[in-house]
Amino acid sequence: MFTRVKSAVATLMGGVISGGGERDSPGATDAAPKFPYGRPEFLALSPDELECFADHSARPIVTVKERKRLPCSTGYAEVINAGKSTLNEDQACCEVLVVKRRLPGSSATANWGNMTRRRSSLPNGEGLGLREILANSEDLPFHYWGLFDGHAGCGAAVVASRLLHHHIALHLQEVMDILCTPDLQPPTCLSEEPLRWHHQHLNPTSNSRALTRAVSLRGAAGAPGSPGAPPTRFFAEKKVTHESLVVGAIENAFKDMDVQIEKQRAVYNTSGGCTALVVLYLLGKLYVGNAGDSRAVMVQGGEVIPMSREFTPESERQRLQFLAYMQPHLLGNEFTHLEFPRRVQKKEVGKRMLYRDFTMSGWAYKTIEDDDLKFPLIYGEGKKARVLATIGVTRGLGDHNLKVHDSNIYIKPFLSCCPEVKVYPLAQYEHDTDDVLVVGTDGLWDVLSNQEVAESVTCFLANCDPDDQSRYTLAAQDLVMRARGVLKDGGWRLSGNRLGSGDDISVFVIPLAHCNELY
């Protein structure tokens, strides 16, 4: 084990360890990908442009050529890495979708096209008549932005960028009757008659939405006041808001996307995994769902409002340790769930050393035992921290075949596909044309802080013509340029001779005032 882990640790800076992973999937090496590799559709790159922008040595910055291809005058820019991987493993998606009621007897997967109207050529919603749609309770429109940072291949990122928004739309379709009626509260359970309607109109094939006939407490024990009925207090019901239904739709969509990637891995060559950061604008609210280490920040008057947080081995230490404590077999008898300030040596058995486990945020002393000599579940610090000495993120999609280097220990049980969703009531506030939501992959945030990004965007937009709608694209381009740096002395450098980002960088700059104008 020591030799195996030593080999893995030696490659920590290289990201995901090679040797495990997608090669174990039956037929994966010979199978074709579900979707061909390419850059986001809204960039509309020609083959020559695609080849030019893939130059790792020059690293030209790509922006949207036609502003109307993105909704709300959104700005977007990207750049490939400095040779870290052959392809740009970041993927992006931006769509305007309209959720429509499902026809009786139709299945979800067969009616994605009928369920939503989308214009991939002009996803800003032109021709959709959004205000007219809002007046029609039969339809539910929403705007969608997504960034997907792939690792160990771009396969999972490509698939998620093409399909995740459809999964979200499917789950929104299940509750659109409630969302489109402001004073309607969701039922806490389904009686026999609504249950038949539910089976007819919802997706009967989705595992996450499979319905079982449940007997309510009230029906099983009798009505309040009847003999044998429990006290009235047991019938209190929690209030469920419309906002929480949207959050639930996003959460379940992430899980469905992850399940789909796993089920299809034997048919399609879906390599690696990816982080996922999505933004929805629906019924006057912004929903930001994040699973990974990308980041979204709101910039208002130069001030920063974080709209997501990164999920790393350090930020999720207690969750990972708790899982390992409850299911020690996941560690293969070669790792320990305990954390120590440094690697424990054999000569320290019987001595006292600082440690902590999943119950602790602080540190305490314990007497070192032989079991403590095992390799730690979380190794390294900061950007070098890894789960099982293998991967530096703890949430995302895919990675179902990823293993510890040269072992049969799977990483996936520790990698959660569940996003954290934050909500901002955008329509309740007035916003200046310089107020924006900046959404970027970790290539941006590795070298620029929240405040540096806020100052850069605020300063740039202040020097632009307020009527120039392309200024948000230019602001995104400026951010990517600042994070990439300039080529100097054989490397990419920022001001002050700091190292620039050598990773793929993708950035959306979404003007908040323009989102409000849609409704």
First to last CA, the chain: 59
Residue 137 in this model has a pLDDT that exceeds 60: no
Mean pLDDT of the chain: 81
* β-bridge partners, 506: 78
**What average pLDDT does range 84-96 have in this prediction?**
94
Shortest CA distance to 96 belongs to which of 142, 134, 136, 127?
Answer: 142
Residue 314 in this model has a pLDDT that exceeds 60: yes
pTM of the model: 0.83
What's the pLDDT score for residue 329?
94
Tens of pLDDT along 342-383?
Answer: 999 999 999 999 999 999 999 999 999 999 999 999 988 888
Residue 513 in this model has a pLDDT that exceeds 70: yes
* Beta strand pairing call for 295-300 and 375-376: unpaired
Tens of pLDDT along 214-245?
Answer: 333 334 444 555 566 666 565 667 888 899 99
Amino acid making up residue 4: R
Cα 355-356-359 angle, rounded to 5 deg: 160
Please give the Cα distance from 64 to 28 (Å, whole number): 34
What's the pLDDT score for residue 30?
62
Given a contact cutoff of 8 angstroms between Cβ atoms, the answer to whether 250 and 280 are in contact is yes
What's the pLDDT score for residue 229?
60
Please give the Cα distance from 497 to 261 (Å, whole number): 42
* Beta strand pairing call for 335-336 and 375-376: parallel
Residue 91 in this model has a pLDDT that exceeds 50: yes
Residue 299 in this model has a pLDDT that exceeds 90: yes
Residues 6+ apart with CB under 8 A from 132: none
User: pLDDT band at residue 108, thresholds of 50, 70 and 90?
Assistant: low
What's the pLDDT score for residue 107?
57
Domains of the chain plus CATH, in order, are 12-183+240-311+418-516 (3.60.40.10), 192-235 (no CATH)
Given a contact cutoff of 8 angstroms between Cβ atoms, the answer to whether 354 and 344 are in contact is no
DSSP-derived secondary structure for 414-460 = G-B-PPEEEEE-GGGS---TT-EEEEE-HHHHTT--HHHHHHHHHHH
Please give the Cα distance from 412 to 152 (Å, whole number): 14
- Specify whether the backbone of 222 is left (phi greater than 0), alpha (psi in -120 to 50) or beta: left
**In percent, how much of the chain has pLDDT > 70?**
77
Please give the Cα distance from 465 to 472 (Å, whole number): 11
For residue 18, the SS3 value is: strand
* Beta strand pairing call for 303-306 and 335-336: unpaired
Cβ neighbours, 10 Å, residue 95? 23
Q: Indicate the length of the chain as a whole number.
A: 519
What's the pLDDT score for residue 231?
62
Task: Give counts: helices (H), strands (E), the chain.
Answer: 13, 20
For residue 189, the SS3 value is: coil
For residue 90, the SS3 value is: strand
**What average pLDDT does range 246-268 have in this prediction?**
92
Distances (CA, A) of 97 to 21, 40, 118, 140: 34, 17, 5, 8
**What average pLDDT does range 188-206 have in this prediction?**
40
Out of 16-25, 194-203, 376-385, 475-484, pick the least confident: 194-203
Displacement of CA 479 from its chain's centroid (Å): 21
Out of 154-158, 201-205, 342-346, 461-465, pick the least confident: 201-205
Please give the Cα distance from 127 to 331 (Å, whole number): 55
Tens of pLDDT along 3-57?
Answer: 444 444 444 333 433 334 443 444 445 677 778 889 999 999 999 999 999 999 9
